[in-house]
Amino acid sequence: MSTATVGLHGKEKAAVTLVEMCSVRLGQSLFGVPITHILEIVGSARPQPVPLAPMFVGGLFHYRGDVLTTVSLRQLLGMPPKDGSQDILVLESSGGCFGLLVDSVGEVLTVSSADHEPNPSILDERRRSLFAGAYKLKDSLLVMLDPEQLDPMRLSANRAA
Amino acid sequence: MDELTREFLIESQEGLDRMERCMTDLEERPQDAELIGEIFRSVHTIKGTTGFLGFKRLETLAHAGENLLGLLREGKLTANRPIITGLLQLLDGLRAILKTIEAKDAEGEGDDAALIGCLEELQLPAQTAAQRPVHARAHAHSAAAPPEQAPVSASTPVLGQLPVSAQPPEPVADTPSPPKAPAEAESDSSPARPRVQATAAESTLRVDVTLLNRMMNLVGELVLTRNQVLQATSADPNMTLLSRRLDMVTADLRESVMKARMQPVSNIFSKMPRIVRDLSQALGRRVRLQVEGQDTELDKSLLEAIKDPLTHAVRNSLDHGIESPEVRQAAGKDPEGTLKLRAAQEGSHVIIEVSDDGAGIAVEKVSQKAIERGLITADRAAHMVERELLQLIFLPGFSTAAAVTNVSGRGVGMDVVRTNVERIGGKVEIDSRAGKGTTLRLRIPLTLAIIPALIVRSVNQSFALPQGALSELVHIPPEQAATAIEWIENVPLHRLRGKLLPLIFLDRMLMPDVEHKIVTERDSFIAVLDADGRRFGLVVDGLADPEEIVVKPLSAVLKDIGLFSGATVLGNADLALILDPGSIALKAGVTMLEEGAVRAAESETDAAKGLEYLLVEVAGRQAAVPLGDVLRIEQLPLSRVEYIGYRPVLNFEGQLLPVEDSGGVLAAAQENSDAQGSSEKQIIVVVCREGNRHVGIAVSHVLDVAAGGDLFEAGTTQRTTGVTLLKNHVTGVVDLGSVPSLPAGEAAEPKWSQTEETVA
């Protein structure tokens, strides 16, 4: 699946909007984060674990003078932890900056809103709150992540509720 | 709220702050035209701007005040006590309206008729003449007192009170300038008299505090990057010059940014004259306020943090300290009490003292009250020395006021002061002599952002432990691990000099789910911590170097864990969480009362067991130095030791320290280094106090601190001198008195000295 085809596809239907998504890989699945929310991508990072922290916290890492909390997407989705280094997306949400720990960051894809579908109803509630539908790519699905919902503050509030 | 109103609010607040400072000065010097001019300008500016913004209520009130001030300015009235009270009420009135505007963006409904009426009444010359009390004349008299008294007494130099201050320029002439002539004449006669400054708009700039915080953050980051660059380039000679330059610029930048956050303590001191004035009137005291060291600077956030404790301390002094004039007179004291506020910088701390010459704290009353309140037992109180008893006033729920007044004495007193000051890494000390007065001393770190910390290791991670809470470290070698830690059921304890200290295992606390065993194959360490009066030992796996750390805030999610107060980046670019000793104690259930018991018991046993000694090794033999006499232990290169004749001495910044070397440690070290040809050999010198001089003792090793036991000569009850029982060995005590003092003549005559080349 290449970016060009999607672009062409978009041009055919003039009414649809094109969005740029950063694709991230987690195990076998492909996820997308809108690039408008991404401040920086930090490669091969090893965040410092925090004892007693909530499950979803992937640790701390040092980013431009601040110490940011990372959210481990693996732990959030109940996947087994991965050995070795991972990539961090520095995301900006209304509550401040935080890191999203993923297996690896892929290319930026331009997707068309025409290919977007909402979350399927059979998805469990937890995932339904984290995902914002999916884009149908040629050979796979790009599951959208909602940065606002991934904010550690939001996650801990949801967990408590 | 629009930008214009917001700006107006900030400006008006600053104007009123300035006015308040001037008001208290005015009471001292009612004739001071410059002061009156300054107050007039503040009110006038508010009136002018409000008319423009359409705040009618504010305008009417300011107008009434301006009329009164106008008469004062023209010299038709003299600022006497009722007028000053009226003006202070005007100040409060204006403040209240400004507050309403800030909250609701509207003036709100309120009736100022009474206040305006009062201000108008004060304008009638007949009335003021009738009311002018003897007091005002007394004050006028004191204004004519010698000028050197001016800076000491409550006169407030407004210098440096502007938010970001450079040298304030001459008063800006955008507001009606005060009549110059009399002021100038006066300032000629008293050059020490402070000048009243108008806004320094040209050389200063308002900067958002969040921006300053951000800058501080980035500078911290730069410091870390620099450290890494320096490490990486240290081997490359081509980079030396560049990296040194980077080093210098970074240090300079860091200093400048920190300076930008500094504000003079006068920002909070200036609130005190008003509080003292109001309170002393309410309580019927006569108090003179002396302020010293107003230009001492402190980080803005710290300044905010000590405002309440300081106010509380001043209230306390007035309420419980300084007696009423009659009582003072009866005691043969000046009926007018003195309250002194002093600020000074001492190294990396700022000392703020609140002292009064009042009744002092009656120690018996303190212990009585503490027993009554169940804070300590009578038995324990009997064993406590005066200094310890004084500390009781810092316990929560303690208040000595016989009656609950509306000034203080609600049982939330000194403990709040202590808690607030300790929260920012400061310390509170109290010193009191019955009948003579009380001094409360706050030790505040210069800045919050950078604190000294000890880096400890646990669960394979580094953690930072703030030095402020650390009282000592105990090393447990592997072979002692089993015996050093004792258990009551599942509560670990350590015998620290014979007393049980509750222990908290950091690894168990951090990883409660994992099975932990007491490791016996490697060393462990106990950090003895004293957090908010809770004393406990924290067991860690290892110690690394102490470091000055830059505190970074944690996200709320991690703060909620409750054990960490922040995070920091270490010199090796690793991240470390900063442990919060207070929360750890709370979480583990170490209580304050337990601590009280420990402390009291400790002092008992200390008294029973006699002196503590520093155990040292001198050329293969063990010797003891009384711990009370030890000032510090210095490790320095052998080349620092110089000789006057055959006498070894050390030069500490111009102070000559005779070094006792009866064990021949220096000579042996000298021989060794001569043989190896290196001058970098380190020696250890224990610096002690002997009488009123200092002496150094050269030792091979410092071994331990232990309590000495008395030895008796066989067959007698006579205590032996010069030896003590340390760790069940008879040990000789170093006789400090026998160290000969430096002959004055010798030191003065350079031709006797045989100075060696000093390598810094």
| Residues B272-314: tens digit of each pLDDT | 888 888 888 888 888 888 888 888 888 888 888 888 888 888 8
Instruction: For residues B234 and B560, give the distance between their C-alpha atoms in angstroms, rounded to a whole number.
Output: 41
Contact call for B558 and A57, based on CB within 8 A: yes
CA distance B94 to B82: 18
Tell me what pLDDT residue B752 has.
40
Question: A67 vs B459: CB contact, 8 Å cut-off?
Answer: no
Task: Indicate the burial class of B554 (C-beta count within 10 angstroms; 0-12, 13-18, 19 or more).
Answer: buried
Provide the token pair at A34: 């809108």
Chain A residue with CA closest to B458: the answer is: A51
What pLDDT does residue B747 have?
A: 43
pLDDT at B749 over 70: no
Q: How far apart are CA B462 and CA B306, in angstroms?
A: 32
Q: How many residues does chain A have?
A: 161
- Residue type at B38? E
| DSSP 8-state class, residue B323 | P
Q: CA–CA separation, B72 vs B660, rounded Å?
A: 72
- Using pLDDT thresholds of 50, 70 and 90, give the confidence band for residue B167: very low
CA pair distance A121, B680, nearest whole angstrom: 75
pLDDT tier, B411 (very low <50, low <70, confident <90, very high otherwise): very low
Residue B550 tokens, joined: 């830059």
**B459 chain-A contacts, CB cut-off 8 A:** 51
The token duo for B375 is 């804070």
Q: Give 10-residue mean pLDDT values along chain A (161 residues).
A: 44 69 89 91 85 88 84 88 85 86 90 88 84 88 88 77 52
**Mean pLDDT calculated for residue range B169-182:** 42
pLDDT tens by residue, B456-510: 998 888 999 988 788 888 888 887 777 888 888 778 888 887 788 888 988 888 8
Structure tokens that stand for B631 in this block: 């000032």
Mutation site, A42, A46, A48, interface B, largest B CB count within 10 A? A48
Closest alpha carbon within chain A to B563: A52
| Residues in A touching B554 (Cβ below 8 Å) | 60, 67, 69
pLDDT at A90: 93
With contacts defined as CB-CB under 8 Å, which chain A residues touch B564? 50
Q: Cα–Cα distance between B475 and B528 in angstroms, integer? A: 11
Least confident piece of the model among A111-120, B534-543, B635-644: B635-644
Tell me which chain B residues have a C-beta less than 8 angstroms from the C-beta of A154: none
Strand order in the sheet with A141-145: A104-112, A18-26, A29-34, A141-145, A131-136, A116-117
**Of the partner residues B512, B554, B560, the one whose CB lies closest to the CB of residue A67:** B554
How sure is the predictor about B366, in pLDDT bands with cuts at 50, 70 and 90?
A: confident
Give chain B's mean pLDDT.
74
Q: Does A94 touch chain B (CB under 8 A)?
A: no
Q: What is the DSSP letter of B239?
A: G
DSSP conformation letters of B380-407: HHHH--HHHHHHGGGSTT----SS--SS
For residues B383 and B564, the model is more confident at B564
- The winner for highest mean pLDDT among A33-37, B372-376, B466-470, B544-548 is A33-37
- For the record, the structure tokens of B430 come out as 């109290």
Chain B neighbors of A57, CB-CB under 8 A: 557-558
B437: tokens are 């007065």
Task: Provide the pLDDT confidence category of residue B410 given band limits of 50, 70 and 90.
Answer: very low
Which is it for strands A66-72 and A96-102: parallel, antiparallel or unpaired? parallel
- Which residues have CB under 8 Å from B124's CB, separation 6+? none
Q: What is the DSSP letter of B443?
A: E
Residue among B253, B261, B274 nearest B154 (CA): B274
The reply to whether B556 touches chain A by the CB within 8 Å rule is yes
| Residue B172 banded pLDDT, cuts 50, 70, 90 | very low
pLDDT, tens digit, 9 for 90 and up, residues B7-38:
788 888 888 888 887 887 787 777 777 888 88
Flag if A65 and B461 touch (Cβ within 8 Å): no
Closest CA to B168 of B131, B141, B138, B196: B196
pLDDT (0 to 100) of residue B633: 80
Separation of alpha carbons B104 and B92, rounded Å:
18
Q: Is the pTM of this model over 0.80?
A: no
User: Residue B186 — very low, low, confident or very high, per pLDDT cuts 50/70/90?
Assistant: very low
pLDDT at B318 over 80: yes
Contact map slice: B 394-413 vs A, CB within 8 A? none
Dist. CA B271–CA B24, nearest whole Å:
10
With 50 as the cut, is the pLDDT of residue B1 above it?
yes
Per DSSP, what are the bridge partners of residue A67?
A62
